[in-house]
Amino acid sequence: MTAGDGTGRPRRRRPLHAEEKALWDHVTRSIRPLQPLPRLAEAAEPPPEPAPPEAEKPKPARPLAAPPAPKPRPGPPALAPLEPKLRRRLSRGAEVDARLDLHGLTQAAAHGRLIAFLRGAQGAGHSLVLVITGKGGEGMQVLAGEGGRGVLRRLVPQWLAAPELRAVVVGFETAGRGHGGEGALYVRVRRVREGRP
């Protein structure tokens, strides 16, 4: 492919000036081929004899060090254990600030209601709320496409850990027996700082 001036005609090469030619000769003298090409005279010579066994042995190659494992990034809020004092109070019958029962709701309705409830709880200054998901027992009615029994029990923790609720949820954990056990979650709500929404 020839370079052109945009008219389709090939561009003529100009002759090198004396300084350019001297520079080019200097550069080309310092170039060495990556792999030397065998010459016919050298190809006819016998290969050099191997070094005697007493000669210095090549050092074994060091194994490559494995790259350092990536540092785990801080993830979304997960199970944030309650303080022992608060846990004892709850087990003795202390009440939570508010509660939400999601029994009988579809996934879409439960998700919308959960977000609205948690934002309202934060606005009201609540610090600990109870979200009842149900255990997904035999008597639950399964709607087509809703994922079967216990779907809210599986999905609510995922929703609580989602980025959209990071500003609202500090953490959560399974509720005590008096508040529903495995069919409910204590959710710790982040307090709103003064001057912040």
Angle between helices 107-123 and 151-160 (to 10 degrees): 40
Residue of 134, 147, 78 lying closest to 107 (CA atoms): 147
For the domain with range 84-189, which CATH number is right: 3.40.1000.10, 3.30.1370.110, 2.40.30.10, 3.30.1330.60?
Answer: 3.30.1370.110
Q: Are 77 and 160 in contact (CB under 8 A)?
A: yes
- The domain segmentation of the chain, as residue ranges, is 84-189
Phi, psi values for residue 117, rounded to 5°: -60, -45
Q: Of 134, 195, 189, give the one whose Cα is nearest residue 167.
A: 189
Q: Give the tens place of pLDDT for each residue, 94-114.
A: 888 999 999 889 999 999 999
Encoded tokens for 7: 């008219």
Q: Give 50-65 pLDDT, tens digit per residue.
A: 665 555 556 666 655 5
Token representation of residue 93: 């019958």
pLDDT by residue (tens digit) across 20-36?
Answer: 888 888 888 877 666 66
